[in-house]
């Protein structure tokens, strides 16, 4: 067995699918249909959208070959993706280099707007759906599967159109020296799972070891810098692979929205997160301070985000969920807005927005269009409200479906990580 296979075999994902009976499978299907109706989530794509998707993706490779000269050709640049083992769509890929006086970080994002534009049926359907809905063991895509899982997805060893964010970072401060956003052609060298990425970090002889070590060093510094600047970090024990992806995506998203606001001065789909009132923060901090075995460091009370960060690092593990919940209760929902003012409180970013997941989020798709065309949709405010509301619906749908899985004796996390297999009644009874 390869090291990567061993890495995955030791995880929940490597244990094989959760087995259920046909009767229980029908119950799950009925519950999904009930929730889809309740939250107005469309499971099936209209024929017009599927036909348009098929027509638009007839000869992908010859289209890429014909357009390489009009794009940056990055096929020789070492590039890879890192995603959960059950991921169906790969929005983003990484490349990294260390030079004498700078780091260069490339975040390559699926170029969905090459295929989906405001005059297309696929765009209208993406607006209708506004996001991909991920239920444990069941996915409702925002885009037709031929795009989401194949043509746009940055699968390994296949040439793909991408929208690349190339960031040159100062070695000392990690601030942006230059930001370039452009259309490219890439070819991912490998698709890593999170457990495989951890394995590559450990094994000096493994492919992509040096690249993963370098990008983790960079991501870890970005993470610590973000915390020092007052960004709220509710998950202090996140593993290295997740840290890499989270920090690189934050850096790319921030680069794009700064470019849109300061360099171009255009409206876009910005992510705005209001701050709790001082009284709400005081209430949350007092609730945390009163927990058994928990003490907020005295020098952090003036900045509640830093207070929470410091407390989470020292608190006993049994209290982490309670600390997180005390914070979440007072946090307003983040929303999409056509201007960034107010900033993103939890991240402590003056300007922020989403760009790195256009396969699964409407906001990112629209921001790709604005970056590419410098063309702001006339109904941008309406689109912001739509994306905000549908995200809330998707999260509530997921919560209720997870609750139902627990009611019928299934572990939502196991179903999510391992998937489901329908077997006959006798076999199912052995596993439940």
Cβ distance 321 to 235 under 8 Å?
no
Mean pLDDT of 316-341: 93
pLDDT-derived band at 375, boundaries 50, 70, 90: confident
Residue indicated by tokens 């024929």: 47
d(CA 256, CA 277): 29
Q: Across the chain, what does the average pLDDT equal? A: 93
pLDDT for position 417 = 84
pLDDT at position 13 over 90: no
| DSSP helix/strand/coil, 61 | helix
Which H or E run contains 190? strand 190-193
CA proximity to 99, closest of 181, 170, 204, 176 = 170
CA proximity to 71, closest of 7, 190, 188, 164 = 164
How would you class 298 by CB atoms within 10 Å of its CB: exposed for 0-12, middle for 13-18, buried for 19 or more?
A: exposed
pLDDT-derived band at 425, boundaries 50, 70, 90: low
pLDDT for position 235 = 84
* Residues in a beta bridge with 336: 271
d(CA 408, CA 170): 53
d(CA 259, CA 250): 14
Conformational region of residue 320, where left means phi above 0, alpha means psi within -120 to 50, and beta covers everything else: alpha
pLDDT at position 432 over 70: no
Half-sphere exposure of 346 (CA within 13 A, CB side): 16
Residue indicated by tokens 């109706």: 37
pLDDT at position 236 over 90: no
pLDDT digits (tens, 9 = 90+) for 63-109: 999 999 999 999 999 999 999 888 888 999 999 999 999 999 999 99
pLDDT at position 3 over 90: no
Cβ distance 284 to 142 under 8 Å?
no
Mean pLDDT of 95-124: 97
pLDDT at position 328 over 60: yes
Cβ distance 86 to 420 under 8 Å?
no
Taking the model in full, what pTM does it have? Answer: 0.92
Cβ distance 420 to 161 under 8 Å?
no
CA proximity to 102, closest of 167, 165, 182, 164 = 167
The conformation of residue 140, written as its DSSP 8-state character, comes to E
pLDDT for position 7 = 52
Contact partners, residue 45, CB within 8 Å, separation at least 6: 125, 144
The conformation of residue 186, written as its DSSP 8-state character, comes to E
Number of Cβ within 10 Å of residue 99's Cβ equals 9
pLDDT for position 109 = 98
pLDDT for position 157 = 97
pLDDT digits (tens, 9 = 90+) for 18-60: 999 999 999 999 999 999 999 999 999 999 999 999 999 999 9
d(CA 92, CA 260): 20
pLDDT at position 111 over 80: yes
Query: Considering the chain, what percentage of its residues have pLDDT values greater than 70?
Result: 95
């Amino acid at each position: 067995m390869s090291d990567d296979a061993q890495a995955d075999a030791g995880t929940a994902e490597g244990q094989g699918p959760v087995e259920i009976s046909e009767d229980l499978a029908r119950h799950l299907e009925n519950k999904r249909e009930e929730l889809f109706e309740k939250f107005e989530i469309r499971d099936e794509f209209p024929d017009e959208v599927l036909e348009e998707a098929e027509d638009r993706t007839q000869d992908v490779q010859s289209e890429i070959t014909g357009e390489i000269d009009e794009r940056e050709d990055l096929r020789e640049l070492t590039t890879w993706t890192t995603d959960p083992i059950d991921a169906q769509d790969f929005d983003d890929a990484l490349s990294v280099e260390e030079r004498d006086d700078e780091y260069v970080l490339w975040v390559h994002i699926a170029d969905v707007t090459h295929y989906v534009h405001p005059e297309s049926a696929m765009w209208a359907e993406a607006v209708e759906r506004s996001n991909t809905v991920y239920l444990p063991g069941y996915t409702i895509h925002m885009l037709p599967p031929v795009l989401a899982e194949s043509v746009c997805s940055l699968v390994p060893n296949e040439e793909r159109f991408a929208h690349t964010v190339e960031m040159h970072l100062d070695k000392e401060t990690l601030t942006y020296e230059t930001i370039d956003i452009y259309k490219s052609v890439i070819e991912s060298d490998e698709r890593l799972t999170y457990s495989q990425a951890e394995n590559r970090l450990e094994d000096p002889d493994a492919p992509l070891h040096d690249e993963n070590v370098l990008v983790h060093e960079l991501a870890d510094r970005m993470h610590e810098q973000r915390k020092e600047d007052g960004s709220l970090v509710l998950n202090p024990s996140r593993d290295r692979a997740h840290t890499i992806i989270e920090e690189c995506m934050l850096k790319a998203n921030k680069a794009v929205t700064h470019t849109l606001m300061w360099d171009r001065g255009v409206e876009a789909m910005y992510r705005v997160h209001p701050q709790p009132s001082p009284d709400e923060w005081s209430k949350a901090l007092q609730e945390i301070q009163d927990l058994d075995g928990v003490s907020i460091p005295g020098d952090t009370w003036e900045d509640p985000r830093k207070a929470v960060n410091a407390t989470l690092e020292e608190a006993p593990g049994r209290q982490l969920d309670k600390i997180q919940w005390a914070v979440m209760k007072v946090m307003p929902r983040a929303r999409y807005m056509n201007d960034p003012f107010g900033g993103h409180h939890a991240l402590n970013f003056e300007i922020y927005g989403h760009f790195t997941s256009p396969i699964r989020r409407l906001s990112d798709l629209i921001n790709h269009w604005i970056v590419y065309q410098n063309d702001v949709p006339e109904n941008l405010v309406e689109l912001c409200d739509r994306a905000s509301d549908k995200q809330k619906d998707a999260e509530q749908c997921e919560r209720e479906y997870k609750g139902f899985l627990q009611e019928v004796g299934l572990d939502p996390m196991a179903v999510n990580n391992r998937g489901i297999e329908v077997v006959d009644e006798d076999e199912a009874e052995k596993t439940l």
